[in-house]
Structure 1
Amino acid sequence: MLNIQDLSYYIGDRVLYDKVSLHVGERDRIGLIGVNGAGKSTLLRLIAGEYTPAAGTITKPSDYTIGFLNQDMLSLESHKPIREVALEAFAEVWQIEARIKQLTQELAEDYTEDKVQELTQLQARFEAMEGYRLPAQAEAILEGLGFKTEDLQRPLSIFSGGWRMRVMLAKLLLQKPSLLMLDEPTNHLDLPSIQWLEQYLLQYPGAMIVVSHDRYFLNRLVNRIVEVRQGKLEIYEGNYDFYEKEKATRRALQMAAYENQQEKIKQTERFIERFRAKATKARQVQSKIKMLERMERIELPENEQETIRLKFPIARTPGKELICLKQISKRFGDLRLLENTDATVYRGDRIALIGANGKGKSTLLRILAGTEPCEGIREVGHQVDIAYYAQHQIEALNLNNDILSEMVRSCPQKTESYLRSLLGGFLFHGDDVFKKISVLSGGERARVALAKVLSSEANLLLLDEPTNHLDIPSVNVLIDALQEYEGSYVAVSHDRHFLQAIANKVWYIDNGKIKEFLGTYQEFEEWYAEEWLRALATAQANAVAQTQTPAVSSNQERRQRLKELQREWRRCQKTIEQLEAHLMALEEEQKQIEMQMAQPAFYNDATQVVAVQQHYEQLKKTIDDLMAQWEAQIQELEALESQIQNLKGD
């Protein structure tokens, strides 16, 4: 367990943390939340030992390990294959393996008791650390995070920052530290990878602290929410939904207490004012004054439920069909993304475009925008005005402008009063609008770019990952803005809460085709899961059917076929029994060798050590091969039994 006690930390004159405490238990799942700039990442770095607190302590057992995934890892360089980079998590294991090989060779030429004892200890430790299983575990985790099998031997240096982050995440998951700290782990993952990571982390044996703006992810994963707010840590014993309800309850209680205290203060002040000049009341007046001075004032709770209340009108009403794609194809070299596919965006559509990375979502969005060449026909409907939001919109902001000037440059026809109201809806209040773009955080710049897009009066928005860099309050602002928007849109995002809140239709790309589901994202997930199970059942049924012969036309033929199948069944059953007997004998031999290798005296004969170890490795391979044969025979037996039952049923 880890314990933070009375921790304080300052950045210049700013108090980031003021005597905060937190206890992290062995199986705690903590979601660390707060607005951008509150200090979430700083707290993780303090725990990791990268920063030193100004006061207070962070204590943990001597064998307590910490794994920290942070955004700095995006820039890591290596020319090693990503499989090897992930396996660097076990440097000690590979050092042990190398020393075992070295000792084995040395014993063949120079036998000593010390070397025998060291070899025995190292082999036991190598087994205890699961040295033989680690490569397979690394491959499973990397593939779960979205890498293809052929990617595993490619160097880390050829991958983008987001994919490198996945390798670092795999490396941490393999290490299984006592405390796993993840700073925005879903930022660079697509939906399938996020879902895989959720399932993996649900089974994680240690504690974890997760910083995330993905409330769906937090709801699925965490059992405690710790909010960083005004230099303090506020703890809620539940997931994000519980936090929202509990916070509202706490605020209501605090507001009631505040109002009661304010009423009491007013009554006391009226008493003091009324009787201040009366000598007979002097003692009581002084007592009341002292009471007010000693009173611990309850703060007025902030209203943090900022919701946008602005209308986003469109300049003109378009026709029924906004964009029609006909027989669209798109390839990049040998990579086929789209193949002779059709799709139409209609007036009133609010489309969530989803899928794994590399399926062509952003490419399709650019095709809709008319900025990506392709084969086929793209038809834009009557009076359609398109606004396209992507990463380059953030990068195109003029760093020398302040926020208000940037909006004026984009919308010269709008009044300053309107633009200030709009920016207030995007959480830029008062003098915030005069901040230079150059000093804004990534999330703040994204909000400015989104405000520009939504105020453009376009009637079709194309939004590529608009929730990237946004904290949860900012995502809520964007949701409110899109719900108030009068036009249509297509949005690419991996934020499931966002998709559920804004979409009435889902597009996904399957085998080069754009497919459509009418309904919300949650309804799509449920439907897709059912379709997947139905497809699996059909595939299994087809596999069984392929092993069956065509129906026989007569009773005599049926009896003859039944005899043949029964004969095949007996042969298969006999083969299985033989394999099982062989396996039992080999496993017993393996057990005897392992017992022999566990004895120190075994290493007295170096030549024997080498020979036995080589035989042991060959024995393990033979057992694996026989197990594969046994599994194949079992499947054949089951297929034969199914055919026999079908013939008997006929």
Structure 2
Amino acid sequence: MNLLQLHQGSKHFGDKTLFDDAQFSINEGEHVGVIGPNGAGKTTLFKILVGQETLDDGQIVKAQKLKIGYLEQEAREPLDLSAEEYLEQNCSKPIWELKQLGTDLGLTEAHFQLPFHQLSGGYRMRMKLLSLIGKEPNLMMLDEPTNFLDLESILALEKFLQDYRGAFLLISHDREFLRRTTDHTLEVESGSITKFPGNIDDYFEQKAQLRTILEAQAANQEAKRKSIQDFVDRFGAKATKARQAQSRMKMLDKMEKIEIKDLPIRARIKIPAPVHTGKETLALIDADLGYPDKKVITGCQLRLERGDHLGVVGFNGAGKSTLLKTLAGRLHLLSGERQLGYQVTLSYYA
């Protein structure tokens, strides 16, 4: 059953067309990834669907039983309420039931008692998601919910979305996250909106197939146009062929040109070969890391060797950025030793 349909929708900002004559529908239980380049209109589309902005043309048809829950990218947060009070004020479900659901998101009683603004970004997101669930929507709209989340929070959100029985629209640039959580893909790009069955991998496969078909059709059409034009050029001036030439000219005029959109620009970054270094490149020995008024990591022992590729994970506030700043020499050790290997030069990006 359709929960929501967009019919011949158009939206413009000045001279820029976000989308024109767009049509799609969202059905019960569909898990839809919403993709497209920055500025294509994904967030604007969400705001239109929830009534915060309006279409220039077209209409939105909503099922009578539709109830939308919207997780915005940057929503205002309560400053003086505990997380529990925030949920009680915003949800129809009883708080005890929300707390039970919260355990699946890694929330404990201590999290519910904290002032909302004191929760880390990951736990604030989980509370907002719980608030959405507590309103019992049958269509959730999530605008880049993984932004600023630690790995633990992303995994908790991923599992929740995989198990969620309702429908949702999810804006994300994380291909792996989309692959594991969605079963349809909504593309917002180049002034159009197109819905594809399947997850992000299926989408790319279908896009490649469609492009191959369009290129073949365009080549056939161009050959046909050339053949007709050659006939007109050759026989247009001859009285015996004039009627045929005119008829074929009309065929040319009526023939709609098949347009193939340019492929997105792909970045090609050339990283020059590094200078050969010693085996050991960087080390922290008996190191305390942090700031004069706050020790973040104690007794750190870390050695990196040539060719190591190290991923740094941990919850928000655990000290990941502090560690990288210290390794890069941007932050002085509180105690201990930092050793830089032979011919090692560091680059730091944050």
TM-score by length of 1: 0.50
Counterpart in the other structure of 2:310 = 351
Task: Name the CA shift for 1:386/1:313 in 2 (closer, same or farther; >3 Å).
Answer: same
- Following TM superposition, by how much is the alpha carbon of 1:315 offset from its aligned partner in structure 2, in angstroms? 6.7
> Deviations along 1:184-212, whole A, 9 cap, x unmatched?
01112211211111211222232100001
Query: How far, CA to CA, are the matches of 1:72 and 1:214 in structure 2?
Result: 18
Q: What secondary structure sits across from 1:30 in the alignment?
A: strand
Structure 1 pair 67/194, CA: closer, same or farther in 2 (3 Å)? same
Other-structure match for 2:152 = 192
- Checking the alignment, whether the CA contact within 8 Å between 1:88 and 1:171 is kept in structure 2 is no
Matched residue of 1:261: which SS?
helix
Query: Are the counterparts in 1 of residues 24 and 194 from structure 2 also a CA contact under 8 Å?
Result: no
Counterpart among 44, 47, 55 of residue 45 in structure 1: 47
The number of aligned residues is 347
Displacement of 1:59 = 1.7
1:133 aligns with 2:96: yes
Q: What is the CA distance between 1:231 and its match in structure 2?
A: 1.6
Equivalent residues in 2 for 1:406-421 (5 A)? none
Give the whole-Å Cα distance in 2 for the aligned partners of 1:253 and 1:301.
13
Alpha-carbon displacement from aligned partner over 1:47-71 (angstroms, at most 9, x marks no partner)? 0010111121112233321111112
Structure 2 residue 166 is the aligned partner of structure 1 residue 203: no
Partner of 1:522: none
Look up the match of 1:496: none
> Corresponding residue for 1:560?
none
Residue 134 of structure 2 corresponds to residue 177 of structure 1 = no
Q: How far off its partner does 1:137 sit?
A: 2.9
CA contact (8 A) 1:87 1:135 kept: no
Does the 8 A contact of 1:66 with 1:180 survive in 2? yes
Higher helix proportion:
1
Equivalent in 270, 274, 285 of residue 326 of structure 1: 285
- 2:72 is aligned with 1:67: no
Deviations 1:258-282 (A, max 9, x none): 1111121122222222222222221
- How big is the shift at 1:285? 1.3
Letter of the 1:290 partner, please give it. K
Deviation of 1:283 (Å): 1.3
Q: 1:297 aligns with which of 248, 257, 267?
A: 257
- Residues 202, 221 of structure 1: 8 Å contact kept: yes
Q: Which amino acid aligns with 1:234?
A: T
- Counterpart secondary structure, 1:53: coil
SS in 2 for 1:170: helix
- Residue 78 (structure 2) aligns with: 77
Which of 189, 192, 213 is equivalent to 2:173? 213
Q: CA deviation at 1:3?
A: 1.5
Could you report, residue by residue, the CA deviation over 1:130-157 in whole angstroms, capped at 9, with x for unpaired residues?
Answer: x37335236426x52xx66434322123
Structure number with bigger Rg: 1
Change (3 A) 1:67 1:135: closer
Gap regions ≥5 residues in structure 2: none
- Specify which structure has the bigger relative contact order, considering alpha-carbon pairs within 8 angstroms and separated by 6 or more residues: 2
Q: Equivalent of 1:286, from 225, 237, 246?
A: 246
Which amino acid in the other structure matches residue 361 of structure 1? K
Separation of aligned partners in 2, 1:176 and 1:195: 22
- Please identify, of 170-179 and 311-320, the stretch whose mean Cα deviation from structure 2 is larger: 311-320
- RMSD over aligned CA atoms reads 2.4
Q: Which amino acid is the alignment partner of residue 172 of structure 1?
A: L
Cα offset, 1:342, TM superposition: 2.0
Question: Which stretches in structure 1 are left out of the alignment for 5+ residues?
Answer: 94-128, 391-650
Q: Work out the CA distance in 2 between the residues paired with 1:210 and 1:385.
A: 41
Aligned residue runs from structure 1 range 568-583, under 5 A: none
CA gap of 1:196–1:163, structure 2 versus 1, over 3 A, is: closer
Give the structure 2 partner of residue 167 of structure 1: 127
Deviation at 1:354, TM superposition (A): 2.0
Q: Is the 8 A contact 1:255 1:301 kept in 2?
A: no
**Residue 361 in structure 1 maps to residue 324 in structure 2:** no
Code of the aligned partner of 2:103: A
User: How do 1:370-519 and structure 2 match up within 5 A?
Assistant: 370-374=329-333, 375-390=335-350
Range moving further from structure 2, 201-210 or 217-226: 201-210
Aligned mates of 2:251, 2:180 — CA distance in 1: 49
CA distance in 2 between counterparts of 1:333 and 1:387 reads 25
The one-letter code of the counterpart of 2:270 is: K
